[in-house]
Structure 1
């Protein structure tokens, strides 16, 4: 028997081309694999978290993220009960597809498995779990329903005006937060990798550092002149940067890549290293370690942006903690 499956589609992904791609290329294949599938389109930012939360309550077995890393992040938060938008469920968008499946859903509190159809500009998270960009192959993996239990990260801000946020891939702060801010303000006409490179180079040429104090696993705070901090559950971000070759989604620990202030020439050189994940010869500038909890606060009234799966949810001070075995995801095993 086919599972109760809901595809949450971000029609604005891939610079607004996603809706056309869904209708012409993806939906016909979806209905070949899952004739009784349901699907729904997001209409605004953060709505995917509400739709995922509703899908959990309504008893879906699988929720499929059709979009990029931002869409995945919102759905992860919704599946874990962290609604990023206040809304009346009666105002949710219309759910399309099989009325039989809709009518036969029963309320429960079990969390659906999360699956993926990559339709974002970058789609970095799927690189860590072997999901291909080929739609037919991605649907085949969903049909096989082989899953792994993954850890997720959780960010809490001391400033209560910033909403806590789960993340499944990579978070951090410093220049990457500044880069994400620039990226989200760009039109991405060169694709995510091109837009990210432009945003990253502009940020690196600014050569700003951030005076902070960092505590790992509740040890004493240590002052650090921070350039960039990556907190890795997955391995890739920024349109293909392999930040940590050793990051694992289910070992109960983050891989942390901590980069201190360096001159502009080294900073540009670093950009190439971030794509390979090879930091040999830069040990004085880049510190790699494992941790389960990272607490960071800024010094000298520095305004330090935090980043989470390619979005900027707030500013320091903040704590980043691992939550083991939180989510079932369908992956290539």
Structure 2
């Protein structure tokens, strides 16, 4: 979308929103916008520059707006943590799912939610999103459009809802958090390769999938749901842990998931061949694949997954970010973040 052609009234004609025009509060809302200027092959930075004057106008003089541009991987995590400690009312991710992923991880430190410097009570800073990235899959679960002006209107309104976040743990490693979908094996391998081709837009997911198929072998996995008994899942092609519904540029892989449900949807694809994906790809995108043979869907608040052979060859990713290999445990943190929606 080209920001110069926004179909909105001119600034001189548009009144301030009612909740920002009043003077009943002694201070404005402190909003921190974290922008990845290199996102979507530089498109995020260009569109943000065009969007910023409109954003400042809509939020008026009763909001304190801070703009933070990321300089590299994990920078958004550090910015978010500092913003929360300094008492920001909201931290808004501007970009794609990768930027949102880092901002979500910035809400936590040492396995606990970050709190303000002068408070031991976490959860007072809200999370916001202006989707300007390649995939923007998380926004699809809420039915949000790719129009950033709509996202600004949500921020102006300021309504919030508590949402769940997933946490991924491995013995001897730091906890890792995700808001959208974590996945294992073929889909994670495809995402790993796709990340190298972001300059091609959504085509990167197709390229990544083609590369992942070369040399792929379905794997036997051991899985434990909700701290129950270990089960053997033979010939697993991919396993997806959904806090939300979409990944891979619009594939509705966990169609029953929602970030306010208190549970994951765990979808397992078993013994898929390359031709199965060609013939059934449309069902993976429209979310009707759960009735296909060798596709299993379960609801869970925790799931542990490990390889039977322990060969360190099964990829793991979350929100499109590569994490390494199995084993891993995935657990839900219900209603842990307040999100502007």
Q: Flag the 1:201–1:268 CA change in 2: closer, same or farther, 3 A.
A: farther
Give the Å deviation of 1:301: 3.0
Give the counterpart of 1:117 among 104, 125, 130: 130
Q: What are the equivalent positions in structure 2 for 1:191-210 lying under 5 Å apart?
A: 191=201, 193-204=202-213, 206-210=215-219
Q: 1:76 to 1:13 in 2, by over 3 A?
A: same
Secondary structure of the residue that 2:199 maps to in structure 1? coil
1:151–1:122 CA distance, 2 compared to 1 (3 A): same
- Find the counterpart in structure 1 of residue 144 from structure 2: 131
Matched length: 304
- Give the distance between the partners of 1:328 and 1:183, measured in 2 at CA: 31
1:95-115 alpha-carbon deviations (Å, 9 max, x no partner):
xxxxxxxxxx98545431111
Give distance in 2, aligned partners of 1:154 and 1:27: 33
Q: Is the 8 A contact 1:204 1:267 kept in 2?
A: no
**In the aligned structure 1, how far is the partner of 2:110 from the partner of 2:213?**
34
The 8 Å contact of residues 207 and 264 in structure 1, kept in 2 or not, is answered as no
Question: Pick from 316, 325, 331: which aligns with 1:306?
Answer: 316
In the alignment, the residues of structure 2 paired with residue 116 and residue 131 of structure 1 have an alpha-carbon distance, to the nearest angstrom, of: 10
How far the C-alpha of 1:194 sits from its partner, in A, is 1.3
Q: Of 18, 22, 37, which residue of structure 1 is paired with 2:44? A: 18
Q: Which runs of 5+ in 1 are unaligned?
A: 84-104
**1:29 is the counterpart of 2:54:** yes
Q: Distance in 2 between matches of 1:82 and 1:208?
A: 36
1:243-322 maps to which residues of 2 (within 5 A)?
243-279=253-289, 281-282=291-292, 284-302=293-311, 303-322=313-332
* 8 Å Cα contact 2:40/2:199 also seen in 1: no
Which of 193-202 and 166-175 deviates more? 193-202
Q: Is 1:49–1:82's contact at 8 Å kept on the other side of the alignment? A: no
Are 2:116 and 1:67 equivalent residues in the alignment? no
Question: Comparing both chains, which one has the higher relative contact order based on Cα–Cα distances under 8 Å and sequence gaps of 6 or more?
Answer: 1
Give, in angstroms, the shift of residue 221 of structure 1. 1.5
Structure 2 unaligned regions, length at least 5: 1-24
Q: How far does residue 281 in structure 1 lie from its aligned partner after superposition?
A: 4.6
* 1:244-280 deviation digits (Å, cap 9, x = unpaired): 2211111211011101122221132233221111025
Tell me how large the CA RMSD over aligned residues is: 1.9
Task: Report the secondary structure of 2:192's partner residue.
Answer: helix
Is the aligned partner of 1:50 residue 2:78? yes
Q: Secondary structure at the match of 1:117?
A: strand
2:338 to 318, 328, 331: 328
Write the deviation string for residues 123-182 of structure 1: whole angstroms up to 9, x where unpaired. Answer: 110111233322222111111011110011000023x3x532110110021111101110
Would the aligned equivalents of 2:184 and 2:315 in 1 still touch at CA under 8 Å? yes
| TM-score (ref. length: structure 1) | 0.86
The answer to whether 1:173 aligns with 2:184 is yes
